[in-house]
Structure formats: C-alpha cells, structure tokens
A and B are shown apart, each in its own frame.
Chain A
C-alpha cells in the first residue's frame, strides 16, 4: 500500500505539473481554431487530434484539467467543512438543535436548487470572464453540495458522544470546540474523507451539467467536465478512442485521490 500511495502521489504531481505547464506542453493554446482541420485524428501537429472547431485536444485537456483539478477540491473542501459543521453541531448538541438542523438538512435536500442557480446566473454580469464564471460555479457547488453527508456525520457524532472515551474526555473537562476538534472530528475522519472524495468528481461533472443553465465554464475556456460532456454527442455513434481520454484522466486522478486519502489498512 505504501508503494501504491507513492505511485498515486507521483501521478497526481505529474498531472498537476502537466496542467500547470500547459502553456509549454501545448503552445497552440486552448482557443486557437485550426479551421481547416476540424475533428481531425491524432497527428504530429495535434497529438490528440482536434475537436469540432479545430482546437487542439491536448491543449484543451491540459487547461481543462488545470481548471477542474484546482477548483473541484476547494469546492469539495467547502462542502466537507459545512457537512462537518451542521452534522457535528446537530449530533453534539442533540435535542431541539439536532431536530432543527436535520429539518434544515432535509429541506435542503428537497428544494429545487436549479432555480437558485438560474437566479445566480441572472445576477452575474453578462461580461463575466470564463475564469470567474467557473470559480463562482464551483463555490456554489461547494455551498450546495454538503447536505447528504451532514446526516451521516450527525449519526456518527451521536454515537461518538455515547462512547467511553468521549465520556472520559468530558469528565476530564473537555467540552465544546476542543472536544469536537480533538476527539470527535478525528473519529469521523472516514466519513469526512468519503464526503471529500465523492465530491471531487461529482462537482467536476456537475459543473459541466450547469452549462445548460449558463453557469460553469464558458467558451473558449475548457474544463474537464465540459470535455466529458462532449462524450454525450459521440458515445452512441462511432466514438473515437482519443475522445475518452478526459474520462480516463478523471478516473485516474480520482483513484489516486482515493489511494492517498485512505488511512493505513489493518492487517492481521
């Protein structure tokens, strides 16, 4: 497993370096349109071919990876922190605090947030840059994507509050934030890490789906999600193998995250 973790770290560092060094690895850039060769197969000039508008796929993949891999973990972190806050608070205090918090969580899970997102788009200026648009989208996802996990964390917190070591800690004078930080959160690590790991690819994909509402990345900036979205129009009728590369990249990155986030296995 140690080898696996090292390998995963190397892959992530390489992916990150490639994404950051996109300008050097793909000097054509993500927006230049080679209009005489749209939808071209891989060649020496375009290692992964070109898309429907003749843009270099390699460049778009590198820049798209940069956008998504930088922003999605931040959004996932926000969602995890919010889930920990609401779920932890509900489980810690119990009683009416728990009831109100869980009521809020259930409402949050049921409301059609689609219309809030449409409203947000309307409020944003029309001339917002693609970079700012995608940042705002990921932030929104972070603030809206925490509710499912909060319940699980609440249940975990309640169980921990009944455990002997927490009783001992409380008897020793630990309470409030210190108790949460030193005794509760570490024992909820598994749930929190699960939330984080799930959120990264889900947010990447959701950002692309929000393109139907006018949010997310806008032309010409690519994101991993928007490149994945292109698969929809090719998957049914003769897709080319290189069109699956964004999916492969995401699977590899997500698997590497998973390997790194796992704590050591128990071996007997």
Chain B
C-alpha cells in the first residue's frame, strides 16, 4: 500500500510540476524572444505608439486599447444577462425548468468559437451596419456582443454555483419573515455569493480577452485607435494571428512576442486576482 501511494503521489506531483513548468517556460520563451526589442528600451513606446510598419512605427497601443475595449464591453453586455439567467435557474426555478436551462447552458460551453464567428459575420454584422448606418458593421460592438454570448455560460455556471452555496436556513428565514423572492435575492443571496460571482466575472474577462477567432472575424482588424464602439478595431490576439505569417526576420514578427507578453500579463493578473479572492473567502 505504502509503495503504491508513493508512486501515485509522485505521478501526480510530476504532472503538476510539468504543467506549471510549461506555463513558466512559455513566459520565459516570450521574454527571450522579445529581448531584442526590450533591450532598445522601447517597451513603453510600444504601449502607446500607433502601428505603421511602412513608417517604422511598431506600437501596439491600438491593439491594447482594442483588446480592453472589446473584452470589457463583452463583460458589460454579458453580466446582466447572466445574472438574470442564473437567478432564473438558481432561485426562481419554476417547475424544474431551471435544471433544463442549466443543461443547455452547459452544452453552450462546447460550441466552438468559429461557429460564433460565422453567425456574427452573416447575421450580426449586417444588422449592426444597417441599424447604426455607420461603418461596415465590423466593429467593437459586434465583436463584443458575440463575445458576450461566448463568455456568458462561464458566468452563468459560476453564478449558479455560488447561489447554491447560500445556506438553506438563511433562505428559510426570509420565507418565515414573509419576504418575497426578489427581496430574498437582493438581501440574502447576493450578499452571500458576490465573491464567487466575482471569480466568474474575472475568469470570463480573461476568456474574452484571450479569444482570437471572434475578434479576428468580426471586429474589422483596423490598426487605427478606435474612436467609438462602431469603429473597427484589432485585438492583440487577432494582431498576433495576422502578423505571424510575416517573415521571421522582420521587426513586425519580433513585436508580436511583446504582444504576447502584454496578453500574458493581463490574463495572469486577472487569474492571480481570482486566486487572491478565493483565499480570502476560504479564510473567512
């Protein structure tokens, strides 16, 4: 028994070391490859300047702005929908309908992003173009709407899970006091579960930021700083996908590693934040 246990332990241990190692290795790899540019002390220039390779400008500013705008807007659209949906599943749950809805939401997580991209191009983009009568319809708004559909299952499932952790006795107490469902939701469920909900929000934000295909297909990919939500914009991920085909020796190609580092920093920051919140909650 003892030997078996040690063997299993070491297998699991090495597996975790391996996966953690890969993550670290990737960040190291990107830093090494971006070194020629980092050495020139251009890091902060890259953050703010525009992208015009023909004029010797290789700034990632527009892409960073584009990434944050699209991901943040996706979150803003997705949050109320997810909240309502999880309220329906977790609290209202008329005639056990919530269970079925939850199953549907779960299966939504399995839809490949390219499908959303397709739907976006053929349905959403023409709609946005005709509705607002400005631009091509390939814009921040379209991409954000599609992304919000992509991230909402993550959010809904997290919300429902955190609602389920609210102690039944508290809920019974509200019923005993004669409170209605809405009061129960706002005064008992939300205060109890906001930390779990925050985790879901942050994870969805990371997912929205890391998604490539939807942005590549429907955000338009222009390299100008976006001025409104109806302007075409390019995300860092789409930028990397577009530039990676350029030849290896060009400066363009080297800058995409810097883009990778920015993305890495932004997504890991959101995940570390999540972990931090988790620990606080468990200590409480």
Partners in one complex: no
Q: Which residues of chain B have a CB within 8 Å of any CB of chain A?
A: none
Q: Which residues of chain A have a CB within 8 Å of any CB of chain B?
A: none
